[in-house]
Amino acid sequence: MQQRFFRNLAFLLALNLLIKPFWILGIDRSVQNAVGESTYGFYLSIYSFSFLFFILLDLGITNYNNRNIAQNNHLVSKHFAGIATVKLFLALIYTLVTFAIGMLIGYKGEQLYLLGWVALNQVFLSMILYLRSNISGMMLFKADSVFSVLDRIIMIGICSVLLWSGWIDGPFRIDWFVYAQSAAYLITLLAAFIYLMRHAGSLRLGFHWPFMLTIVRRSLPYALLVLLMSFYNRLEPVLIERLIPGEQGLVQTGIYGKAFRLLDAGNNISLLFSVLLLPMFASMLKRREPVSQLVRLSFSLILAMTLIVAGLAIAYSEQLMELLYGPLPVYIPKLFENHVDESTLILRILMGSYVAVSVTYVFGTLLTANGNLKLLNIVALSGVVVNLVINIFLIPRFQAIGAAWASFGVQAFTAAIQMFLAFRIFKLRFGRLYWWRLTEFIFLLAIVTGFSTILPLAWYVSFALALAGGIAGTFITRMIDPDDLKDLWKSLGQQLKKNPSKV
C-alpha cells in the first residue's frame, strides 16, 4: 500500500508540475499579452469576483464526501443522488447571490454577460471537484490525477490553436478564452461522470431532505472559513477595478494580475504541501501524539522553499517579468522612484505575501486538524476587515501598488496570528538554536542572492547559481537536517499506510 501511494503521488505531482505551470505561465500569460492589460484586467476583476462566492457551490461537501466514500465505497451510488441534488441547489443559490451582488456594486451590460459565463464555469468546476471526490474516495488515484489536469490540457489545446495556429482571423478576444474554459470544463465533467458510472454502477438524482440538511449543517463552519479566506485572498483585483474609475481601473487590474500570476503559481505548489500535512496532523492528534517535531520540520521545509523562491523573484524581478511579458516600459513610477515597471515592483511586494500564505499552510492546517474552526474563522474575519480598510485607503492613492501592500500586510497579519495560536495551543517549542539557524539562513540567502546579481554572467546563469546556493544554504546552516527528512518520509509512509483514503 505504501509503494502504491508513493507511485500515485509521484504521478500526481508530475502531472501538475508539467501541466499547470505551462498553463499559468504559458497560456494564461499569452492571453493577457494578446488582449492587453485593460481587457485582461476587465476579465480578471470579473473572475475574482465570481471566485469570492465559490464556497456557496460546495459548503465543504466535497471534503466530507471524500472521507465518507473512502471509508464506505459502497455508498457512492446511494449518496450520489442526495449530494448531487444539494450541489445543483447550491449552484442556483450561487448564481442568484453572484448576480445580485454584482448588480448591487454596479455591474451591467458586458460585465453581467461575462459574469454569466464565468459563473457557469465555476459551477462546472464545482461539479468536477465533487465527482473527483468520489473517484479518489474509491482509491482510483491515477484516474483522479488525470481528471485534475484534463481541463487544463483541453484548454491548452484550444487556446494554442486560437493564439498561435494562424487559422483564426483577427485579434484574440477575451470571450474566446472564457468559452474555451466552458468547453474544457464541460468535457471534463462528462468524462468524469461517465468514468464514475462505470465503476459505481447506476447513479440517479433524487431528494432526501434530512440527509441533505445534515450534510449542509456539518459543513457550515468549514464553509464560513473558506468564504472568509477567499475574500481576503482574492479581493484586490475586484477592489482595484471598483475603486479606480474608468479605463485606468482596468489597466491597473491587469498590471496587478501580471505579478499575481506568479504568486498563484507558487501557491499551487505550497498547497500540495498542506494537503499531505492535514491527514498526518489529524491522525497524530487523534492518537494524542506530540506534533512539535513534525510542525518544526514542515515549517522549515516550506519556509526554506518559499524564502528561496521569494529571494530569487525579488532579485531577478525585472528579468522574470521581461521574460514573461516582453521589454519593460522606460518610464519610472515617480512615487517610488524605482527603475522598474509597476508590475515588477508589485511582484517584489507579493513575494512577501507568498511567504506568509505558505506559513499558514502549516499552522492553519494544524489548527484545522485540531478542530479550531471558531478561532480560524475569527482570524479570517479579522483579515477581511483589515483587508477592506487598508485597500480602501491605499488603492485610490497608490493604485495597484497599494493593493499589493495591502495583500502583504493582511497575509502577514493572519499568518502571525495563526502561528501565535498554534504555538500557544500546542505549547510548541523550537528552541533558540532553531531561530538562530533560521536567521543565519536568511542572512546567507541574502548574501548569495545579492552577490549573484553582480556576477558578469547571463542573468539565467546567475539565477541558477543563486538557486543552487540557496538550496545548499539550507543544509549548511542546518535549517533542514537530512535525518529529519528521512524521519518525515518514514512518518508519511506509516501514516498513509494506516489511512490510504486521505491521499
What does the pLDDT read at residue 6? Answer: 43
Domain locations in the chain?
1-207
What does the pLDDT read at residue 1? Answer: 36
What does the pLDDT read at residue 490? Answer: 61
Surface-to-core class of residue 218, CB atoms within 10 Å of its CB (0-12 exposed, 13-18 middle, 19+ buried): middle
Surface-to-core class of residue 456, CB atoms within 10 Å of its CB (0-12 exposed, 13-18 middle, 19+ buried): exposed
Mean pLDDT for the chain? 80
pLDDT 10s digits, 65-124 = 655 555 555 556 566 767 777 888 889 999 999 999 999 988 888 889 999 999 999 999
Taking the C-alpha atoms of residue 112 and residue 131, their distance in angstroms, rounded to an integer, is: 29
Where is average pLDDT lowest: 13-22, 192-201, 202-211, 365-374? Answer: 202-211
For residue 182, pLDDT beyond 90? yes
- pTM of the predicted model, to two decimals? 0.72
Taking the C-alpha atoms of residue 152 and residue 501, their distance in angstroms, rounded to an integer, is: 25
**Mean pLDDT of the region 58-63:** 70
Taking the C-alpha atoms of residue 390 and residue 410, their distance in angstroms, rounded to an integer, is: 9
Taking the C-alpha atoms of residue 190 and residue 201, their distance in angstroms, rounded to an integer, is: 16
pLDDT 10s digits, 7-37 = 555 566 666 667 777 777 778 888 888 888 7
Q: Is 372 helix (H, G, I), strand (E, B) or coil?
A: coil
pLDDT 10s digits, 411-439 = 999 999 999 999 999 888 888 888 999 99
What does the pLDDT read at residue 333? Answer: 45
What does the pLDDT read at residue 327? Answer: 59
pLDDT 10s digits, 304-327 = 989 999 999 999 988 888 887 765
